[in-house]
């Protein structure tokens, strides 16, 4: 089967050199690398699903911005 992939110029040059050094085609190198990566992915241990505790409440306090880590730290360090 034929398909098209996009590689950055540096990666393509490196891949061509490795294929040349090994005496194989660029296609053979790409197929071998892809098979190896798929094999590793299949053999890798599955990550354990993490369940985070949740608490009942009314949501965020007014003025809390979860995207502003500095202000979150200030809020967390405030005396209760």
pLDDT digits (tens, 9 = 90+) for 1-19: 888 999 999 999 999 999 9
| Helix, strand, coil abundance in the chain, percent, nearest 5 | 50, 0, 50
Q: What DSSP string runs through 22-57?
A: HT--HHHHHHHHHHHHHHHHHHSPPPPPP------S
pLDDT tens digit sequence for 18-54? 999 999 999 999 999 999 999 998 887 777 888 888 7
**Mean pLDDT over the full length of the chain:** 88
């Amino acid at each position: 089967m034929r398909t098209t992939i996009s590689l950055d110029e540096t990666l393509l040059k490196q891949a061509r050199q490795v294929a040349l050094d090994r005496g194989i085609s660029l296609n053979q190198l790409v197929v071998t690398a892809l098979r190896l990566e798929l094999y590793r992915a299949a053999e890798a241990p599955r990550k354990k699903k993490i369940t985070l505790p949740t608490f009942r409440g009314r949501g965020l306090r007014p003025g809390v911005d979860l995207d502003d880590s500095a202000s979150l730290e200030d809020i967390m360090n405030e005396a209760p």
